[in-house]
Amino acid sequence: MIRLYDTLTRRKRDFVPADPKRITMYVCGPTVYGRAHIGNARPAVVFDTLARLIRHEFGPDSLIYARNVTDVDDKIIAAAEAEGVDPSVITERYERHYLEDMGALGVAPPTIAPRATEEIGPMIAMIEKLLAGGYAYAAQGHVLFDVTKDPAYGILSHRDREQMIAGARVEVAPYKRDPADFVLWKPSDPDVIGWDSPWGRGRPGWHLECSAMIERHLGETIDIHGGGLDLIFPHHENEIAQSRCAHGGAALARYWVHNGFVDFGSEKMSKSLGNVVTPAELLAQGHKGETLRLALLSAHYRSPLPWTETLIDQSKTVLDRLYRAAGDAEAGEIDAEVVEALSDDLNTPAALTRLQAIDDAATLKASASLLGLLGSGADEWFRGGADESGIEAKIAERAQAKANRDFAIADRIRDELKAEGIVLEDGPGGTTWRKE
Ligand SMILES: [Zn+2]
């Protein structure tokens, strides 16, 4: 039995899907105007791991996982203006980079990845429902959601109205009846991206796309809604308000799951790590995606994760050890204790501790795959990308030098390889090598 901490009820609950053959999960995806940073990668990795667990428990075809792409947004418009290009140039570029970066971290693509610009029709339809129900009003080219009409507003964030207004840093605007009202639709200037609507040419407010996409692709009530802690308010609170009021009070999600922040400030950011906080830059520095994935899973997903160079180094050491233990074994049975740890609100630290205690290589390999780890062979992990024949030639040269008692030459060859990141290990069976 999987148990998940539900933000709405503030407790850990048994995960009982409405239909175990069609489990639905929606996670708010990227706004594509720049390269993802490691904080954006955390929910991608966390919910990828939850998806693996659900598919293990309920079957490979049991889960529909949707993650949206926000490709219309003021930040995108600003980036496009700064470069003097069409917004689609920006969004296509950064959606592609996002998929590359997350792919490097072992994140499988979701089942569906709807783009906001391709869902304008369903969004307009939802606004019309909200207007017809008296939950929204049109004013000066805008359509606003009227929070005073929704008695459940605040149900997720557990905030009262004053706190909500303070937390949202809401703008008082002449077209708003109440400062907490939020935008469903706003007008676009003629030179800005927009669509025709009953309220004039404009574009949707950000919160609306998730409600409309969930309704269209997954249904009125989904099993799991996920995202970062920072989305609870106002984004998810507003999604709930829109969907509940458009659907006669039906709940938007049965379980609300939120991951904590990646913390860049707690320990000294070392000089070499500098301000490098994007997976792309870390990969370019030579770190492997799997190392970053393990680092992201090293803390419980609801806890803050201090991001330090030490964490990356430790994660690499753990993976070296795990790859040495797994060797080139084929995956066998999955270890019950690893499943148990993950089933307890995705306790990845406990699962990682257990992995390091598994003796059987085949069991280790299979169990690690549940966390998206040990996907390569040990050979590839330790030697991937190296010039193998060149290294073997140098090892032979060094062996000859040693046989000639020419130790200075032997040491020089070893040091040269070390400088290239190749470590030689002398053992009873001869010399082997691995990447550092
Ligand atoms: Zn969302």
27 Cα: distance to centroid of ligand 1 (angstroms)? 7
Structure-block tokens of residue 339: 């499943």
Distance 189 CA to ligand 1 centre (A): 25
The Cα diameter of the chain in Å comes to: 92
* Sign for the pseudo-dihedral over CA of 72, 205, 173, 231: negative
The Cβ-side half-sphere exposure at 101, using a 13 Å CA radius, reads 25
Per-residue pLDDT of the chain (436 residues; tens, 9 = 90+): 999 999 999 999 999 999 999 999 999 999 999 999 999 999 999 999 999 999 999 999 999 999 999 999 999 999 999 999 999 999 999 999 999 999 999 999 999 999 999 999 999 999 999 999 999 999 999 999 999 999 999 999 988 777 777 766 667 788 999 888 999 999 999 999 999 999 999 999 999 999 999 999 999 999 999 999 999 999 999 999 999 999 999 999 999 999 999 988 754 444 445 566 899 999 988 899 999 999 999 999 999 999 998 999 999 999 999 999 999 899 999 999 999 999 999 999 999 999 999 999 999 999 999 999 999 989 889 887 677 778 888 898 999 899 889 999 999 999 999 988 889 989 888 888 888 8
Burial class (CB in 10 A: 0-12, 13-18, 19+), 427: exposed
Distance from the alpha carbon of residue 76 to the mean position of ligand 1, in angstroms: 17
Give residue 67 CA to ligand 1 midpoint distance, Å.
9
Instruction: Measure 426 CA to ligand 1 centroid, in angstroms.
Output: 55
CA of 70 to the centre of ligand 1 (A): 9
Q: Which of 340, 341, 344, 250 is nearest to 18 (CA)?
A: 250
Asked whether 283 and 277 are in contact (CB, 8 A), the reply is no
212 CA distance to ligand 1 middle (Å): 10
For residue 112, which phi and psi values (nearest 5 degrees)? -135, 145
Q: Where are the alpha helices (DSSP H) in 298-347?
A: 309-326, 336-343
Q: From the CA of 232, how far away is ligand 1's center (Å)?
A: 9
Q: How much distance in Å is there from the Cα of 201 to the middle of ligand 1?
A: 23
Ligand 1 center from residue 144 Cα (angstroms):
18
How far does the centroid of ligand 1 lie from the alpha carbon of residue 429, in Å?
Answer: 57
Distance 28 CA to ligand 1 centre (A): 4
Q: Which amino acid is at 183?
A: V
- Going from the Cα of 210 to the center of ligand 1, the distance in angstroms, rounded, reads 5
